Amino acid sequence: MTDQPSTVGRPVATTKNGTAAEPIPASQQRTRRAIASTTTYAEAERIVDRLADLKFPVERVAIVGHDLELVEQVVGKLTWGRALWRGALSGAVPGVLIGWIFGLFSWVNPVIAGLLLALYGLIFGAVIGAVVGLIIYVMQRGRRDFMSVAQMRPNRYEVVADDEVADEALRLLGGGI
């Protein structure tokens, strides 16, 4: 266990690169009000863009997705061959990188050593990855013989603004919601 307080249900700030930062203290949390509601993210973006064009302080606006659902799109059947191929690819890439990095530490000829060790890493990583991929496929015993891509998506979006500026945003949008 950690001594960190839980952030469940509390707003969390993000850095410019999108990673989570420290939770926003309750004293600094803004009360916000919905100024528009849409069914697509593109429409919500257009609303914020329109506010920006009208010189509205868009740093006081957020797009909030509601009613999340998990959609798992099946993209194909998983066979022995595909399990081997995917395992080989997932092993080859790190094998190449690790071999290349070790080759760069060669004092005599780092370019040749880097390329040669990258080739060895590719081969060794592909073999190990294929074996591991096959073992995992066999251990599943046909319980999940398909490949899929999962995504979370909201059913609707709300454009919200800080209470202090929400009326101005509604006025600029011509009524909003």
The structure tokens listed for 75 are 């993209």
Distance of alpha carbon 75 from its chain centroid, rounded?
A: 19
Q: Do residues 124 and 95 lie in contact, with contact meaning Cβ atoms separated by under 8 Å?
A: yes
| pLDDT tens digits along 40-53 | 999 999 999 999 99
pTM comes to 0.51
Which DSSP helix (H) or strand (E) runs through 71? strand 61-77
CATH number listed for the domain at residues 12-69+155-173: 3.30.70
The CA-based angle 23-26-27, given to 5 degrees, is 120
Statement: residue 177 has pLDDT above 90:
no
CA terminus-to-terminus distance, the chain: 44
d(CA 22, CA 19): 10
d(CA 117, CA 58): 51
The structure tokens listed for 136 are 């995992």
Q: What is the pLDDT of residue 104?
A: 79
| pLDDT tens digits along 137-170 | 888 887 888 888 999 989 999 999 998 998 899 9
| pLDDT tens digits along 50-106 | 999 999 999 999 999 999 999 999 988 888 888 899 999 999 999 999 988 888 787
Q: Where are the domains of the chain?
A: 12-69+155-173, 79-144
